Each structure stands twice: as structure tokens, then as C-alpha cells.
């Protein structure tokens, strides 16, 4: 369960980075 939460956190972090880059391009 702890490992799954860790993976979810990584995915969420990558999502934020992608969104930030998308906003910067605009």
C-alpha cells in the first residue's frame, strides 16, 4: 500500500510539472 501511494505521488508530481510547462508556453 505504501509503495502504491509513493507511485501515485510521483505521477501527481509529474502532472504538475507538465501543467506548469503548458502554462509557461501559453
Element (H, E) at 18: helix 2-25
The predicted model scores a pTM of: 0.47
Banded model confidence at residue 1, pLDDT cuts 50, 70, 90 = low
Dump pLDDT digits (tens) for 5-24. Answer: 888 889 999 999 999 999 99
pLDDT for residue 9: 86
- For residue 26, what pLDDT is reported? 81
pLDDT tops 90 at residue 2: no
C-alpha cell at 20: 506548469
CA atoms within 13 A on the CB side of 12: 6
- pLDDT of 14 reads 94
Amino acid at each position: 500500500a505504501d509503495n502504491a501511494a509513493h507511485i501515485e505521488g510521483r505521477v501527481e508530481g509529474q502532472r504538475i510539472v507538465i501543467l506548469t510547462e503548458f502554462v509557461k508556453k501559453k
